[in-house]
Chain A
Amino acid sequence: MKNFRFLILSFLILTISCEKMVEGVNDNPNDISVADVETKLFLTGGLLANIQVQLGHLNRISGMYSGQLIGFSSLYSNIYGFNLSTAEANSTWNAVYVGVITNMRHVVNTATNPLLKGIAKVVEAHAVGTAASLFGDIPYSEAGNPEISDPKFDNQKEVYTSVIALLDEAIGILESATSASISEDIYFGGNKNKWITAAHTLKARFYLHQKDYSNAFSSAQKGISSPSDDMKYMPRGSTNVAEGDKNLFWMILEGSRAGDIGNSNGNLTSYHLQLLDQANSSSRNHAKTDETARFNYFKINSGGGSLNKGVIEQFESQNMVTYFETQLILAETAGRSGGVAAGLPYLNNVRAWLNSGAGVNDNFLNQSFKYLPFDASDFNSGGIENTDNVDSKTAFLREVIEERYVTGFGTHIPFNDARRLRKTDASFAVPYVLVNGQNPPYPERMPYADNELNSNENAPAEDPGIFLKTVVNQ
């Protein structure tokens, strides 16, 4: 029995300090501690996530649902037929909350430079405002806090209000900041004035969504006043690298999704292209307007990215917040309150810009285009923009909205306008159809992300469906 006790004793000695032996082994050897990374290095990722929110999968879907694009085969043909599942929203939803909010708040919380704080707030507002417009009620007041695992869903209007307040905060911070060259700022390179004017245009956009036209007008007046201040996604990199930094639409068609989505295929052309097509009965070409160059510029060869020289060319930039949008918000809101005379200068600003060749890229400058300024009389009964003899204000607003529809290709503008104007302003809304697709009613929102529905106890039990009108469009 003595031996037995001896064994037990040696066992005890051996097992002591078990834990000590493994201490520290689990420190991650691969990734870097958050505290070790300079704050500005978190900016690029948030900006890329925001690009996906504005220009990614849901943008292409909103384009299909507003007559801009056609889903030809595979997934996009299903979605074009209104078979849109909640899974399709996962990546965009993640980009908003995990990509943008988490990282931009980290920048706000850790940055010492007010420029970075201001930029981060604008980016958050941009992404969240877009999300509210697409989904309706979304989590926001409790979002972005890992302590709250099930954030509640806020009313869409409240989210817009918070987002506009955030933009105001951002503008205040940016005004006190000084510009600096920041290469991580892939939108504006650290130019604070560009951020400030973009923030004002975003405010104008979000007021417009809520049909608050007077605030939209006053915000747009401080918005982007020069095309060189446009916020765009600018592709870059080597022609040899097909993935990762190119025009998003080009990447879709260049990879395995070739043939799935586009706007023309044989005899089928989208309503958007029909408007531009000289030969089409819906054509908007007339004595003062020649859309030949833009028609070809916007025409997508869906057979492969590299077959394209126009709007989805490998390095073609993609619009997010722009001069033309600002001017057309001014044109619409001024037109609504002050008629043709008040709104026309803004519309003509856009036409002058287009007439300089800005509506196409260099590959199409050798084709014909013409955007002569309109006179007020062009909108009078029998004028070239009023051949069906409606009142001049309606004719003017119809042209403004149509311009937004045409030039806004690739952004959420056409989808947002369609939903906003459908109920009350049908007389000047764009009467688009989904070529070879479904008939009205058209979708009114994007479905919530499957992941959110599954994980958040405060989410609705089921997505309310894509035909439910969101609060601001009811």
Chain B
Amino acid sequence: MEKFQKRIFYSLLLCLGFAQFSWSQILSGNVTDEQDVPLPGANVIIKETNTGVSSDFDGNFQITIEEGQILQISFIGYITQEILYTGQDQINIKLLSDNQLEEVVVTALGFKESRDKQGSTSSIISAQKVVNAGEATLANSLSGKASGLRISRSNGDPGAASTIRIRGANTIDGDSDPLIIVDGVPLNSDANYSGGNGITGGRTGGVSQNSRFDDINPNDIESIQILKGASAAALWGSRAANGVIVITTKSGSKGQAKITFKSTYSFDEVSERIPMQTTWGQGTSGKYNPAGVESWGDYIPDRSGAADEVNTSGQYFESYLGQRFYPITQKNSRETFVDSNWDAVFQTGTFFQNDFTISGGGEKNTYFFSLSNIGQEGIIRNTAYDRTNARLNYSAQLNEWLDFSAKSTYSYVYSNRAQQNSNTTGVMLGLLRTAPDFDARHYIGNYYSNSGQEFTRRQRSYRRYLGNNANPTYNNPLWAVNEQVSDSRVNRYTFTPQLTISPSDWLQFIARANVDTNEDKRVYFFPVGSAGDRVNGILQEDNIGNRDLNLDLIGKADFSLTDDINLSTTLGWSVNDRQYKRISGRITGFLVNSTKETTSLNTAAEASSYENFRTFRSSNRGYGILNFDFFDELFLNVSGGLEASSTIKGTFFYPAGDLAWNFIKKGESNVFSFAKMRASWGKVGVQPGVHKFETLAEGSFNYSTYSDLLNVDLFGGGFRLDNNLGNPDLKPEIKTEWEIGGDFRFLNDDLTFGFTYYDNKIEGILLDVTLSPSSGFATQYGNFGSMKNNGFEMDLGWNIIDKPDFSFNTSLNWSTNENEVTDLYGTDSIDLTGLSVSSRAIVGKPLGVLYGTGAQTNADGSYKLNENGFPQITSSPIVLGDPNADWRAGLSLDVRWKKFFLRTVIEHSQGGDFGPRTLYVLRRFGTTEETANRLTLSQDLVNYAGKVIPAGTTVRGNIEDFGNGNVLLDESWYRTGIGGGLGDNQLYNLSIYDATFTKVRELSLTYNLDSPRLNTATGLSNILFTLSGRNLININKVPGIDPETNITGVGNGFGLDYFTNPQTKSFLVTVSFNY
């Protein structure tokens, strides 16, 4: 115990920076491989002491040593050497490569095993690749790096969660994110959209939310593995259907303390911008109207150019910048403000990230400590993401048979987000609908009425240019940016202690526990004068708490059944308990027009509301694994888990098995250095939603038919039978998957190739089916669907050149996934997003198809036109497109030349459809360049209203031929007809674009400064300077919108945008100091 305390004290000292690095008497050495290539980072320790160092970039080291001591030199992939020190000054050590070296995988339980013996496939992403991505959040740094893995960031908001999907869709209503296992225990990785986010529409309105996955500090990661198939994940039973991401965090290695310090500065810009028009004024029918909704007004160059004529006799608005605005009687000014309005909203975003790690260890213990902070300012002014992480991983060998380790982390995450999407308080909605001749910068001020009455803190929007009404209808984007608050503060702790007992060399017991708690305090503040029903002010605070507990007891034993058959068995028992609580308080309607976020704004009882919401779930599983090894050539792995979960009726058994046959092993062939065929089969599940067994009495409900909500709470409260009919027979959704594949290595392992074909069916999919409302209930949650996926994955790696001064290697991953919803138990479609174009589950179609009204077509696919030659609306919604990509690929290139490293990751997504509804609805508003065309007709043309416009007329519009000759698309088409986009009855098939994109995710150049002089002068082993770009090149076919954008954030619906905040591209500078 005393020794243990000493270790902790020692570790603390190191953390605080008091550690001393000094030595008096020195042995100099050099470590190389067989080809005399220096091995940097080799561990050099003196056996049975705490002394150790690691070699620098040139393989050099210096260490204090006494005669008779034993020097131990180790390096991963090489055979460890022990040398008795006999008093010499200089030693050259040549490590022999370990022929038995096998790539190691970490299983779902956290055990390291040989990759070559696995019958199921997984992708490994190295720590280097994660950190090198230069992304502020972990999820985004995985983009393009593994086959079958899709990371989609839904917008460029700082800290916004991204969708992570492995091998396509596995569920319709359930959680589609993979299970995250960190050091053997599941981690809460939710993105929570509940609470006050609903004030402005939740997922489809609201703000971006963080994912708790991104609380992980990328610098702490040793390796990431993507377990894609059912068999590899089966041990996690009903949580594993979406695949498992296994993360192993760093631990210290024996020897001298290693210190690294790294700083990164990033500049972020809006990656794409919708082209806006500057030639047509606010108003309709060619006439200017300063309060008009749309910009179908006068031709701006036709204005006189003089100052506007105004009426100064009565009402006016005085902006906070001092400028007065009077009622306009004659619009003369030609000034437009598209760029200045944009610049008032957007800025060059930045982040500044500092990472510090210190690690090391003695003979019997190791430690790893890290401290990291990233402070980000978004491209939208006032948006921010600030994350601080601390981690201490400690492990100790307490005695011959007992090991102890403990991993603990703390994270603090602050973020402020901007309102977005289908939401009249949103930034983009207000900005892009604003008329080009309206100056949005004077967004706040005082309004003086005709009678001289003063109204302070009035919002001035383009539809209320005098601020003469408290409700701006749509927010001025600057009000959204400067006056509204949507912030979040997260405190999170995780603690993972583990005891490993090894009573004999064939038997091991592990007891592993984990507690993961986090608290997210969110504030939503809409001051008086915000758009829509926030006009009288709303303040909401949400206090969201999660507490996850996990306990695993595992026994592992190895047996030799015969000389050639070995068996390894693992038996385990796991308990998991998760609690979630949300406490929300809200004040609606402020008596005081103030920006102080306090409940004192209205103390009347009816102005405030309080809500608590909790969920509890627990499960426990017993599981067993048998690994057979026949003749060191054939490997059979059989596992089964029996699970009981609170959300499920009864217990469920999850079996899995896989087989690997290493038919060519190293040395057996000159060309082939290794070949393996593998096959696997398994079942995994998705847990039902919590607390869904009974039909309960629901309070706090409302009835609305169209923006006319009646809230029962305002009528004295009351209850109804929940619209959702309870279901006491819920089962897990079961995915059964098989896969076959092979892994091959050629040319002394320089060329690697792996492929996998998988096929799965998912049955009993959990979803809310729409019941016939006439049955008395709107929906029922249950096992009501089925779906299937199949796909092909390929990974190729090639170390083309590997010389001391020059190396060049490349890797390519490629994958397809075909999905089809096969049954929804009588329901035609399930809406995944809402909105007038929705992403849906429809039987016979891939999950997520885009659905809305469109043009009627003839049997041959041509438009069914009306007598004027225009398309006609379908009476019901139709399938408009499929957002699923045909295939995806990621290409990495790593080049090292002397001390320079050049790295790039390119991601390509081929095919699929995207519905940029923003573009479409803006046609109605007439603010985009698309609607600004001005032409003189050379022939008589009919417009949508049926009017013939004679040749020679100069009009605003475009000429189009829908199949029956040219027609004129003018205001009657875009604004009042069916060629704009608002509501349910528009030609939405004209707003569907090809979603193909190519992105250069990363491009970086690093210089390694590691001269001996540097080392002598500063003690530093090297300094790395890196310049990198993120998403700098982005090729797609949608004008001004990134097709990865997703209005619903992390969810199952995708392929749509609607005034979603834009994406970013970045440029980074990094300096990394390594001691």
Q: List, in ascending order, chain B residues with CB within 8 A of A96's CB.
A: 773
Closest to B828 in A: A454
0/1 interface trace, chain B 698-735, chain A, CB 8 Å (1 if under): 11011111111111111111111111010000000000
Q: Are B469 and A75 in contact (CB under 8 A)?
A: no
- Chain B residues positioned under 8 Å from A325 (CB to CB): none
Q: Write out the residue numbers on chain B whose beta carbons fall within 8 Å of the beta carbon of A32.
A: 696-697, 699, 719
| Pair A252/B983 contact, Cβ less than 8 Å | no
Known contacts A95-B705, A99-B703, A241-B607: A149-B772 contact under CB 8 Å: yes
A14-B573, A28-B691, A31-B696 known; A242 vs B533 contact (CB < 8 Å): yes
Q: Out of A236, A252, A452, A457, which one reaches B708, CB within 8 Å?
A: A252
| Max chain A C-beta neighbours (<10 A), residue from B553, B712, B720 | B720
Please pick, from B471, B616, B720, the residue contacting A254 in the complex, using a CB distance under 8 A: B471
Answer whether A450 and B876 are a contact pair too, CB < 8 Å, given A34-B697, A255-B707.
yes
Q: Is B721 a contact of A75 with CB atoms below 8 Å?
A: no
Contact in complex: B613, A30 (CB < 8 Å): yes
Chain A residue at minimum C-beta to C-beta distance from B975? A73
A-side contacts of B620, CB under 8 Å: 18, 21-22
Distance between B408 CB and nearest chain A CB, rounded to angstroms: 27
Q: Which residue of B lies closest to A87 (CB)?
A: B984
CB-CB < 8 A to B827: which residues of A? 454-455
Q: In the complex, how many angstroms separate the beta carbon of A56 from the nearest chain B beta carbon? A: 3
Contact B573 A15, beta carbon cutoff 8 Å: yes
Contact of A77 among B710, B721, B777, B976 (CB under 8 A): B976
Quick check: is B774 within 8 A (CB to CB) of the other chain? yes
Given A56-B705, A94-B773, A103-B721, A29 and B616 touching (CB < 8 A)? yes
**B826 & A457 in contact (Cβ 8 Å cutoff):** yes
A26 within 8 A of B: yes
Contacting residues, chain A, for B826 (C-beta < 8 A): 149, 455, 457
Contact of A245 among B602, B615, B707, B710 (CB under 8 A): B710
User: By the criterion CB–CB under 8 Å, are A307 and B469 in contact?
Assistant: yes
Q: Are B571 and A28 in contact (CB-based, < 8 A)?
A: no
A4, A23, A44, A307: the one contacting B718 at CB < 8 Å is: A44
Quick one: CB contact mask for B679-705 with A, threshold 8 Å, 1 for yes?
000000000001111111111011111
Which residues of B lie under 8 Å from residue A248 when comparing CB positions?
708, 710
Contact B424 A256 (CB under 8 A): yes
Do the beta carbons of A45 and B701 come within 8 Å of each other? Answer: yes
Contact with A along B888-905 (1 / 0, CB 8 A): 000000000000000000
Decide: A241 near B705, CB < 8 A? Known: A29-B616, A98-B776: no
Residue of A nearest to B574 (CB): A14
How far, in angstroms, from A21 to B645 measured CA to CA in the complex? 9
Chain B residue numbers with a CB within 8 Å of A256 are 424, 473-474, 531-532, 707
B778 at the interface (CB under 8 A from A): yes
| B721 touching A102, Cβ below 8 Å | yes
Q: Given A18-B644, A237-B714, A243-B533, are A46 and B694 neighbors across the interface (CB < 8 Å)?
A: no
Give the contact stretch, choosing among B115-123, B216-224, B583-591, B1020-1028.
B583-591
Q: Which one of A35-43, A169-177, A337-345 is at the B interface?
A: A35-43
Contact, CB under 8 Å: B720 / A42: yes
> A257 within 8 Å of B by Cβ?
yes
Complexed CA–CA distance, A91 and B834 (Å): 14
Closest A residue to B977 by beta carbon equals A81
User: A174 CB to closest chain B CB, in angstroms?
Assistant: 21
A191 interface hit (Cβ, 8 Å): no
Contacts of A74 in B (CB 8 A): 982-983
- B266-291: which have CB < 8 Å to A? none
| CB interface residues, B 869-908, toward A, < 8 Å | 873, 875-877
| Complexed CA–CA distance, A396 and B290 (Å) | 48
Given the interface contacts A18-B651, A52-B705, A146-B725, does A85 sit within 8 Å of B853 by beta carbon? yes
A150: Cβ under 8 A from any B Cβ: yes
B646 contacts A by Cβ under 8 Å: yes
Closest residue of chain A to B722 (Cβ to Cβ) is A31
A103 to chain B: which residues have CB within 8 Å? 720-721
The interface residues of chain B lying within 8 Å CB-to-CB of A310 are none
With known contacts A7-B557, A30-B613, A98-B723, A75–B983 Cβ distance under 8 A: yes
Known: A56-B705, A183-B716. A143 touches B775 (CB 8 A): yes
Pick from A18, A29, A78, A245: contact of B691, CB under 8 Å: A29
Whether A15 and B622, one on each chain, are in contact in the complex, defined by CB atoms closer than 8 angstroms, is yes
B-side contacts of A454, CB under 8 Å:
770, 827-829
Indicate if A240 sits at the interface (CB-CB under 8 A): yes
Interfacial residues of chain A within 64-91, with CB under 8 A of chain B in the complex = 73-75, 77-79, 83-88, 91
Number of interface residues of A (CB under 8 A): 117
Whether A46 and B720, one on each chain, are in contact in the complex, defined by CB atoms closer than 8 angstroms, is: yes
A238→B559 CA distance, assembly (Å): 77
B711 & A245 in contact (Cβ 8 Å cutoff):
yes
Query: Judging by beta carbons under 8 Å apart, are A10 and B770 in contact?
Result: no
Contacts A44-B718, A91-B705 known; A462 to B875 CB distance under 8 Å?
A: yes
Q: Is B642 an interface residue (CB 8 A)?
A: yes
A84 to B877, CA, bound (A): 12
Q: Within 8 Å of chain B (Cβ to Cβ): is A3?
A: yes
From residue 241 to 263 of chain A, which have CB atoms closer than 8 A to chain B?
A: 241-245, 248-249, 251-252, 254-259
Complex Cα distance, B1061 from A31, in Å, reads 36
Size of B's binding interface in residues, CB under 8 A: 110
A237 touches B533 (CB 8 A): no
* A114 contact set on B, CB distance < 8 A: none
Among A241, A257, A306, the most chain B Cβ lie within 10 Å of the Cβ of A241
- Say yes or no: is A451 at the interface (Cβ < 8 Å to chain B): yes
Asked if residues A25 and B622 are in contact (CB atoms below 8 Å), the reply is no
Considering the chains assembled together, what is the distance between the CA atoms of A453 and B828 in angstroms?
A: 9
Contacts A25-B617, A243-B709, A256-B424: A37 and B719 contacting too (C-beta < 8 A)?
yes
Instruction: Tell me which of A3, A83, A244, A252 contacts B714 (CB under 8 A).
Output: A244
Min distance, Cβ A2 to any Cβ of chain B, angstroms: 11
Please, which residues of chain A bring their CB within 8 A of the CB of B1012? none
Q: State in angstroms the CA–CA spacing of A447 and B69 once bound together.
A: 92
Q: Which one of A83, A149, A249 lies within 8 Å of B873 (CB-CB)? A: A83
Given A4-B557, A241-B589, A243-B711, residue A78 in contact with residue B983 (CB < 8 A): yes
The answer to whether B774 and A151 touch across the interface, beta carbons within 8 angstroms, is yes
Given contacts A4-B557, A7-B569, A85-B985, contact A58 B507 (CB under 8 A): no
Confirm or deny: B769 has a beta carbon within 8 angstroms of a beta carbon on chain A.
yes
Task: Assess whether B777 is in contact with A102, with CB atoms less than 8 Å apart.
Answer: yes
- A residues 135-164 with Cβ under 8 Å of B? 138-139, 142-146, 148-151
Q: How far is the CA of A44 from the CA of B714 in the complex (A)?
A: 11
B-to-A contact residues, CB < 8 Å = 293, 424, 469-471, 473-474, 506-507, 531-533, 535-536, 553, 555, 557, 559, 569, 571, 573, 575, 588-591, 602, 604, 606-607, 612-622, 624, 642-647, 650-651, 690-699, 701-723, 725, 769-778, 826-829, 853, 873, 875-877, 976, 978, 982-986
- Seed contacts A85-B875, A452-B774, A455-B828; 19 additional CB < 8 Å A-B pairs: A21-B575, A21-B618, A25-B616, A27-B691, A30-B614, A33-B694, A48-B703, A56-B704, A57-B706, A105-B776, A151-B775, A186-B715, A240-B590, A241-B606, A251-B533, A256-B531, A256-B532, A453-B876, A463-B876
- What would 28 A/B residue contacts be, using CB atoms closer than 8 Å? A11-B624, A22-B619, A22-B620, A25-B646, A28-B691, A37-B697, A45-B701, A45-B718, A49-B703, A52-B703, A52-B705, A52-B708, A56-B705, A56-B708, A77-B976, A79-B985, A85-B853, A97-B776, A98-B778, A102-B720, A146-B775, A237-B606, A240-B536, A241-B536, A241-B607, A252-B706, A304-B471, A456-B772
Q: Which residues of A come within 8 Å of B, CB atoms?
A: 1, 3-4, 7-8, 10-11, 14-15, 18-19, 21-34, 36-37, 41-46, 48-49, 51-52, 56-58, 60, 73-75, 77-79, 83-88, 91-99, 101-103, 105-106, 138-139, 142-146, 148-151, 183-184, 186, 236-238, 240-245, 248-249, 251-252, 254-259, 303-304, 306-307, 449-457, 459, 462-463, 465
Closest 7 CB pairs of A and B: A240-B589, A15-B622, A56-B705, A25-B646, A244-B711, A57-B705, A75-B983
